[in-house]
Structure 1
Amino acid sequence: MKKNTVFSIGRFVLLAFYVLAAVFPLYWIVVTSLKGPKEIYTMPLQYLPTSATLDSYRKLFSFSSFSLYFRNSLVVALISSLLAMAVSILSGFSLSRYPRQRTKGILQLALYFTQTIPTFLIMVPIFTMFSKLGWVDSTAALMLVYVATVIAFSTIMSKGFFDRIPVSLEEAAKIDGCSMFQSLFHVVLPITRPGMAAIFCFAFIN
Structure 2
Amino acid sequence: IIPRRAPPEPANWNRALVTPANVEALYATQPWRYLAQAAEAHLFASGDAAFRPFSRRLQHHIEHWAHAYWESTHELHVQGATWKRWRTARNSRRSHAGNHLNSLLQLAVGLFQQGLADIDLLLDPMMLYFPPAHTLIGRWYPGLQHATLQAAIDDIDAQEPWRRFYRTPLIVAAMDAHVRCRVTRDPPAFHVPRLADKFVQQV
Q: Could you state the TM-score of these two structures normalised by the residue count of structure 2?
A: 0.28
Bigger fraction of residues in helix: 1
Taking CA–CA contacts closer than 8 Å with sequence separation of 6 or more, which of the two structures ends up with the larger relative contact order?
Answer: 2
